[in-house]
A = this chain, B = another copy of it.
Amino acid sequence: MKTPTTDRDPSPLSEAGASTAAQARFQRLHKILRDRICLLDYAPGHHLGEEDLAQEFGTSRTPIRRVLGWLESEGLIERRHGVGTIVTDVDLRSLDQVYRLRLELASLMGRLAPMRCSDADLALLQTHLTRCSKLRQQREPTEFARLNMDFCVALFSMIGNAPLREITERLYFQTSRIWLKSVPAMDLEEEISHFERQIFDVIEALRVGDHGAVGDICRAHISMSFNRMTLLRHAQAGGASLGATATA
C-alpha cells in the first residue's frame, strides 16, 4: 500500500521517505557526509574519526559506523583496521572506466522506461535554471557544484527503471568530485554556460515528452565535460599555458 509493488525498495537509502526514526537519521547523516565529501569539504585523504562524528551528531559510534559502511560501499571512503577512515582520492585515470559506463547508462535513461516527470518536477528543474543564472554573477565553484548535484539528483529521480536509477546516482557521486577539483584550472564562465545549456535542453526535451532525447543530452554533456577535463590534464602535464586556448 505504501509503495507500488513494481518499484522495489531494497536499501535503507532510496528516496522513499524513512518510516522509522532510525532510518531517517541514517539517511540524514549519509546525505550530510556524502555532500561534505563530494563538495570537497572533506578533501581526498581527509581523516574521518568515528568518535569525532559520533560526538558531532550526538550519537554513539554504532550508527556512525553504519553510515561509514555505506559510504565505503559507494567508494567514497576507505576504512582500514588499525589505520582509520580516509576519503578516497579521485583522478581521471582511475575513474575512466566509470565515465565510459556512465555514458552508456545515460543513453538508457529515458529509453529503458519513460521518465517519471510531473509538473512539480518540471517546476523544480526551472528553479535550477534560475539558480544557475544567479550563480553566473557570484562565481563560487562550490555553490555551482552544489547546484549541479541538486539538478542531477532531481533528474535521476525521474528515471523510470528503478535499478538504473540507483546505479546512475551511485556512479554520479563517484565521479562528481573531479569537476570541483579541476575548477581552479578551468574556465568557470565556459563551464557555467555549458551547464545552463544542459538544464535548458533537458527541460525542453521533457516538456515535449521526448524522453530518449533527455538521455542523449546528458550523455553528450558528460562526454564533453570529461573531454574538457582530459584536455586540461594534458595541458598541465605538457606545461602549456592555462589560458582559454588548449591545442593538442
Residues of A at the B interface (CB closer than 8 Å) are 5-6, 8, 10-12, 20, 22, 66, 69-70, 72-75, 81, 88, 93-98, 100-101, 104, 108, 112-113, 161-164, 167, 171, 174
Contacts and interface: CB of A to CB of B under 8 A. Distances in A.
Nearest to A21: B81
Contacts of A95: 8
Tell me how many chains of this kind the complex includes: 2
17 contacts: A5-B93, A6-B94, A6-B97, A10-B72, A10-B74, A11-B72, A11-B73, A20-B81, A66-B69, A69-B69, A97-B163, A97-B164, A98-B163, A100-B113, A100-B161, A101-B161, A101-B164
Contacts of A88: 10
Contacts of A108: 101, 104
B81 A100 contact: no
A119 B167 CA distance: 32
A12 B79 CA distance: 9
A77 to B, nearest CB: 9
A97 B6 CA distance: 8
A59 to B, nearest CB: 16
Contacts of A12: 72
